[in-house]
């Protein structure tokens, strides 16, 4: 190992150290994410913190000053700096500037990837207010000034909701209806003629 590093001057050793340390932490973080222990909770970094009522999102996400951001910056900084200085013989200033640009670009790219992945999430919650305008049929009779049930095609799924006729009229099972308003979780419907 000493003979290998004997060829390197101080700047090359610095670039190599940055690449090795950054690459090590990128690899560790990657392995931990694949086995499900990304360092948060379950005995990780945040274990032992008591009294916290806030249970934020399970995905810590990407922050520039996180293990992801810093390790990817240093890995690319070291690799590109070493390649520019040793292989291309670009000089100290050009190698350092190229290394900073490459490290910053890797942080920016990883940030964009995490942001794109976060946008793929969906709450899965259906908002009843979005049912206005949907059509369906009465499933259980709606009595005069009372509540029955309707069956609607809502978000491409057949769903049943409590419903009242908008003018308080009775509506029999099988009658086609349209939702005109939502009061809490009760739909106000009108008969489709």
The 3-class SS string of 84-120 reads HHHHCCCCHHHHHHHHHHHHHHHHHHHHHHHHHHHCC
Count the domains in the chain.
2
55: in domain: no
Return the structure tokens found at 131. Answer: 């049912």
Q: Let me know whether 114 and 134 are in one domain.
A: no
Q: Which of 44-48, 58-62, 111-115, 179-183 has the lowest mean pLDDT?
A: 44-48
Residues 142 and 161 in one domain: yes
Residues 101 and 151 in one domain: no
Confidence of residue 48 (pLDDT cuts 50, 70, 90): very low
pLDDT of residue 5: 67
Q: Find the domain containing 93 and state its range.
A: 7-47+62-118
User: Is the torsion defined by CA of 68, 73, 76, 79 positive or negative?
Assistant: negative
| Pick from 21, 118, 19, 121: nearest CA to 63 | 118
Residue 54 domain-assigned? no
Residue 20: how many other CB atoms lie within 10 Å: 14
Comparing 29-38, 135-144, 145-154, which segment has the lowest mean pLDDT? 29-38
Q: Are residues 158 and 181 in the same domain?
A: yes
Domain endpoint, select from 71, 89, 118: 118
Please tell me whether residues 138 and 98 are part of one structural domain. Answer: no
The answer to whether residue 1 is domain-embedded is no
Q: Are residues 24 and 111 part of one domain?
A: yes
Task: Answer whether 187's CB lies under 8 Å from 136's CB.
Answer: no
d(CA 139, CA 159) in angstroms, rounded, equals 11
Task: Band the pLDDT of 51: cuts 50, 70, 90.
Answer: very low
CB 191 within 8 A of CB 176: yes
């Amino acid at each position: 190992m000493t003979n290998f590093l004997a060829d390197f001057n101080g700047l090359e050793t610095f670039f190599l150290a940055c690449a090795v340390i950054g690459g090590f932490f990128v690899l560790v973080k990657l392995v931990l994410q694949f086995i499900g222990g990304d360092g948060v909770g379950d005995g990780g970094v945040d274990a032992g913190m008591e009294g916290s009522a806030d249970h934020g999102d399970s995905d810590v996400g990407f922050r520039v000053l996180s293990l992801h951001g810093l390790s990817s910056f240093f890995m690319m900084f070291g690799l590109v700096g070493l390649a520019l200085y040793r292989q291309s013989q670009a000089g100290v200033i050009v190698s350092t500037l190229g290394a900073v640009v490459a490290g910053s670009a890797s942080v920016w790219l990883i940030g964009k990837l995490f942001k794109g992945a976060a946008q793929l999430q969906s709450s899965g919650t259906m908002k009843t207010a979005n049912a206005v305008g949907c059509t369906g049929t009465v499933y259980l009779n709606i009595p005069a000034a009372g509540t029955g049930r309707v069956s609607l095609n809502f978000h491409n799924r057949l769903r049943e909701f409590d419903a009242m006729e908008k003018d308080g009229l009775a509506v029999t099972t099988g009658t086609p209806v349209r939702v005109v308003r939502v009061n809490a979780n009760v739909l106000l419907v009108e008969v489709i003629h």
